[in-house]
Every structure is written in structure tokens, then in C-alpha cells.
A and B are shown apart, each in its own frame.
Chain A
Amino acid sequence: MSKLKLATVWLDGCSGCHMSFLDMDERLLTLAELVDVVYSPIVDTKEFPHEVDIALVEGAVASVDDEKKIRKIRAHTKTLVAMGDCAVAGNVPSMRNPIGPQAILNRAYIENTSAQPQIPCLVVPRLLPIVRPIHEFVKVDVFLPGCPPSADTFYAALTALVTGAPLDIPALTRFGA
């Protein structure tokens, strides 16, 4: 049997979910016998591959770039996993929602800056008015809440996804876990 193609993606999150993923430690070796990591912040592939079996997406959709990425990921992925509370529920990035992006940018780049206050407008993508979980943009197949989901949660969930075994997510994790 050929190995499944696994991608991991980092949208508007803190990378904590990826850290927790790496916390699987030696169990990563067991997983590596079943999957190939074809795209991830921890590998060098620049473009999201054409065909991916499982994509783990960390982070909420907060910018026009995030939105573009998540639509592309969905189009090329069989099983899309919302990884962690930001992807599942918005979480900390969504705390700016009642305030709005302009007020946040002003506070960060104008009000609290002593030298050359200016809001970045080149290269960095434009922020969306509201930060939203990924399932408000595309269909999500598996929701894995937690901030971050524990390494044990990752291992149990990935093993089940790869082998096709039943997966009881509320038994593994919850919002804020």
C-alpha cells in the first residue's frame, strides 16, 4: 500500500498546534511509516500539492490570503481536518472581532509606536473584517478542538484517520483543552 499524503497548514494561529503535533515525539516515526508529509511549515515545499489525502489546518481565516489558501486546500484535499480551536472556533484571533481590524492596526502600529508609526500595507495581506473558523468558508470533514489538541489526541485521531478506525473526538478533546 502506498503511503497517504499528509499536509499541515498554518493560517491565523500561534503554531502551538504544530508544536503539539511535534510533541508526538517517537510516535512520529510510527506515523511516518503510514504517511508522507508532502506540505507543511516544517518541510520545504512551496506550493500546496495537487492531491493530498489528509490536510491538518491550524488557525482561523483572518486575511484575504488565508481565505485564498483554505479554498485551494479544500479543492486538493480528500479529508480536511480543522486542527485546534482557532480553526474550529476562531479562538484568540477572533477576539478582535468586536473591535474591528482598523482599531487593532491603529493600536499596534500607530498608538503604541514611537518611531515611524505606519500601518503595513505592502506585501502583507489585507485583514478580513471578521476572523472566522474555516468551516464558514469550506466544508470541513473532521473537527479537532483544543488549544492545542494534545499529542495523544493527535496520535489517536491520525491513527484512526489513516487506518479508517472509528474516531470519537469528544472522548479525546474539547474546546480550550
Chain B
Amino acid sequence: MSEAVEVKTLIIDDREVSGRRGQTILEVARENDIQIPTLCHLDGLSEVGACRLCLVEIKGNSKLLPACVATISEGMEVSTHTERLQKHRRTILELLFAERNHICSVCVANGNCELQALGQSQGLTHVRLPYRNPDLHVDASHERFTVDHNRCILCTRCVRVCAEIEGAHVWDVMGRGINSLVITDLNDPWGDSSCTRCGKCVQVCPTGALFDKSKVGTEHPKHPDFLPYLNMMREAQ
């Protein structure tokens, strides 16, 4: 450990824990086996704080803070599973389910989907909001992969992995608000784009939005765990 490292002690869910200065609440919580649900966060990618599932309560602060980007400070008291937070998390998941056409039973990611698993772990049995039923397309122009916008939750993991890890920045986001879409190049068909075919975006996609054509039905587990290893090896070089 270098001399610049400063240890901060804080309380998460009534437990005294410590971390290094600059670490996020999420990092310290997970190091101490305190589970905070996340969707847009992925170990090895930059943080965007977009999904808001990791919101936590800080004593003395009326605002809820996303644990993935909020850094720890000395004496901080964090609550990760209050009734208020659980209510917000369920509502966020309901909004995601209602926004596009997530038909779990016929999705390639059924059984391997982070949105579906979160719905279950957060106690969601139905969606109280009316479904929007948007008319969205599927782009199967790529020889190996498909993007199904019906299942996309705009977490931007694909955008970040393509830009930050692969260095290609083929993926980006088009439009605003509810009309946003992930696109390849300047909204060109994926098959005609400058895609390097590395497949990292497919592996980090939490739902069935990006999938491998060679994997049919429910046999499509994703393996995003290569990222921290890849980053570690790059730093070592």
C-alpha cells in the first residue's frame, strides 16, 4: 500500500466497515458482502449511475445517492435496504418492464436475464403501470449477433464496453428520453457497421437485447466476468 492511501471508516446497514479514500459505497459494500442491486454497473466498466437501482440512504442527507458513484467519507452512515429504497427499486423495475416489450417467456435470455432476476429478488409479482407496447424493431443484419430493441433497458453497458475496452466505439445512443435507442455507427445496420465482431457487447448485455445467433432458446448465459481480468492484464503490461 502506498502512503497516499487513506482509510475511511463508515457504517453500512449498522455494520462498521472501512475502505480506501475514493472508493464508492458500492465497492465497499460488496467487499463486505452487503448486496446492493445494480443493473447499469458492471465491474470493469466506467460508472454512469443511470439505472438508479443502487440508490442508498445517507444519514443527514435527504437525497438518495447512487452507491455506484457516491464515494465514501469518514463517519458516513449508509442504509441500503430501507422500506423506502425497496419501494423505489420495485418502481424502477416496473418502469423498465412497462417501457418496452419484455416478454420473458419467449426471450432468448429467459433464465439468464438480470432484469428478470432482479424482478424476482426485489419481490415483483406484477407491474402496476400500464404497458407502453412500443413498436420497436429487431436488427439481425449482423452475421453473428442480433439486437432486439424490445428488450433493451438502455443501461449503455454495450456502449461503454465497445468504447472503453474494445476501443471501437461502434455503439452509441440515439434520440432522447423514451425515444432513445442504442445504435451502431450513425444508425447503420449492425451488419454494415464498423463492428469488429468481438462480441463483448453481447456478453455484457444484462437482458436479451443483444444476443448471439448461434445460441437459441434459453441456452444463452452471458459471461461479463472477463472484464476485470482484461483490465488487470492491461494495467500489468
| Contact A133:B126 (CB < 8 A) given known A98-B135, A98-B136 | yes
> What chain A residues lie within 8 Å of B131 (beta carbons)?
89-90, 94, 97, 132-133
Pairwise interchain contact B107-A176, C-beta atoms closer than 8 A? yes
Closest chain B residue, CB of each to CB of A136: B130
Pairwise interchain contact A95-B126, C-beta atoms closer than 8 A? no
Add 7 more A-B contacts to A82-B126, A92-B103 (CB < 8 A): A91-B103, A98-B101, A133-B131, A143-B126, A145-B125, A147-B105, A175-B105
Pairwise interchain contact B103-A170, C-beta atoms closer than 8 A? no
Q: Which of B104, B123, B127 contacts A147 (CB 8 A)?
A: B104
Closest chain B residue, CB of each to CB of A147: B105
* Interface segment, one of B14-22, B38-46, B113-121, B184-192: B113-121
Closest chain B residue, CB of each to CB of A133: B126
Pairwise interchain contact A175-B116, C-beta atoms closer than 8 A? yes
Q: Which of A82, A91, A99, A140 contacts B105 (CB 8 A)?
A: A91
- Mask for A95-110, Cβ within 8 A of B = 1, else 0? 1011100000000000
> What chain B residues lie within 8 Å of A90 (beta carbons)?
131
> What chain B residues lie within 8 Å of A89 (beta carbons)?
97, 126-127, 131
Pairwise interchain contact A95-B103, C-beta atoms closer than 8 A? yes
Closest chain-A Cβ to B122's Cβ sits at a distance in Å of 8
Closest chain B residue, CB of each to CB of A168: B123
| Contact A94:B133 (CB < 8 A) given known A85-B104, A176-B111 | yes
Closest chain B residue, CB of each to CB of A134: B126
Pairwise interchain contact B101-A95, C-beta atoms closer than 8 A? yes
Roughly how many angstroms separate A176 CA and B162 CA in the complex, as a whole number?
30
Pairwise interchain contact A92-B105, C-beta atoms closer than 8 A? yes
Determine whether B124 belongs to the interface, using a CB cutoff of 8 Å to chain A. yes
Determine whether A61 belongs to the interface, using a CB cutoff of 8 Å to chain B. no
Pairwise interchain contact B121-A99, C-beta atoms closer than 8 A? no
> What chain B residues lie within 8 Å of A174 (beta carbons)?
104, 116-117, 119-120
Determine whether B106 belongs to the interface, using a CB cutoff of 8 Å to chain A. yes
Determine whether A5 belongs to the interface, using a CB cutoff of 8 Å to chain B. no
> What chain A residues lie within 8 Å of B130 (beta carbons)?
132, 136
> What chain B residues lie within 8 Å of A64 (beta carbons)?
none
12 contacts between A and B (CB under 8 A): A82-B126, A88-B125, A89-B127, A95-B101, A95-B103, A95-B106, A130-B133, A133-B131, A143-B125, A147-B105, A175-B119, A176-B104
Closest chain-A Cβ to B128's Cβ sits at a distance in Å of 8
5 closest A-B pairs by beta carbon, nearest first, are A176-B104, A147-B105, A97-B133, A174-B120, A143-B125
Determine whether B228 belongs to the interface, using a CB cutoff of 8 Å to chain A. no
> What chain B residues lie within 8 Å of A170 (beta carbons)?
120-121, 123-125
Pairwise interchain contact B105-A85, C-beta atoms closer than 8 A? yes
Closest chain-A Cβ to B114's Cβ sits at a distance in Å of 13
Determine whether A169 belongs to the interface, using a CB cutoff of 8 Å to chain B. yes
> What chain A residues lie within 8 Å of B136 (beta carbons)?
98
Closest chain B residue, CB of each to CB of A86: B105
Determine whether A135 belongs to the interface, using a CB cutoff of 8 Å to chain B. yes
Q: Which of B116, B121, B125 contacts A176 (CB 8 A)?
A: B116
Closest chain A residue, CB of each to CB of B124: A170
